[in-house]
Amino acid sequence: MAEFPRISHKKVVVTGGAGFIGSNICEDLLNYNNHVVCLDNLSTGFKENILPLMDHPSFEFIEGDIRDLDTCKRAVIGADIVLHQAALGSVPRSIHDPITTNSVNIDGFLNMLIAARDEGIKRFVYAASSSTYGDSKELPKVEENIGSPLSPYAVTKYVNELYAKVFGLNYGMELIGLRYFNVFGRRQSPSGAYAAVIPKFVEAFIRKEAPVINGDGTFSRDFTYVDNVIQMNHLAATTENPAAIGEVFNTACGEQMSLNDLAGNLKSLLSFYDEDISVLEVIHGPERKGDIPHSLASINKAQRLLDYRPEFSVSDGLKEAIDWYWTHLS
């Protein structure tokens, strides 16, 4: 396990703590003697993600919605740090239902900022998104150069960054945004219309079904294993570098993989468990609205200001994830 500064002996609020990323963060925080308050309305998170934590004496679960200010204020009482993971994700979902996406991602975010401000919490780390780069064709993506958003989801995540900047300027809060790039790993659900590509592909292969790639498969992503995201949350929450405060950082591996190559890698890894999977072929469907063609992060800024060193490459992360999925889905 890589050595880097970690949050320890703090009271930490994790919004969206029953979700895929949030539950992994909660679990990790408990390993370092923190008191963890998990706030989640279970709309996209799952109780089973945090069941192993429920009996921990330093874990507190609040089933509530960040769209309710009183709930947010109750969650942050006495807290030292907020790690804001709660959001209604998915570009397609935001195109289908922009009102709810806006309500959760902007109104809910603002509520958490207000609650943290009023409680006197200075350090607030929030999940931003690579979708903010929009129609920018520049590769790799550099934090200071963004394009126009291509979906309501992207708009909401950019507004989060703007609000964070304003709260830092006006209220002296220490806000740091983490632009997540296609995070994957244990506990990421393959279920539902808006499930992420990796668990969807894995579940299809395990069921001996052909996974469906939207488009010709040449679109590429910077797939990022969840443990790298955990590291970035620790680094952002503990940094004493004044140059990092108020900034936004790409949270990624700095590697690019096409959807065709992803499917091939997953098939190869799963074939070790069941050789019948090796003969399955993918199906190509229509491109999705709002999808950006290519995504590759520059992680230079995070390396320079936060001393970020990704623990897992994409291939190493996929091996870890496949092992978890085979155990839980097969």
Distance (Å, whole) CA 234 – CA 6: 5
**CB 104 within 8 Å of CB 66:** yes
Cα 213 to Cα 78, 196, 210, 263, 285: the distances in Å are 47, 12, 9, 9, 6
User: 221 has which bridge partners?
Assistant: 257
DSSP characters over 15-79 = ETTTSHHHHHHHHHHHTTT-EEEEEE-SSSS-HHHHGGGTT-TTEEEEE--TTSHHHHHHHTTT-
Annotated catalytic residue, options 32, 126, 133, 153: 153
153 among known catalytic residues: yes
**81: CB partners within 8 A, 6+ apart:** 7, 10, 11, 12, 13, 121, 123, 124, 125, 237
Angle formed at CA 301 by CA 299 and CA 305, multiple of 5 degrees: 125
Residues marked active site are found at 153
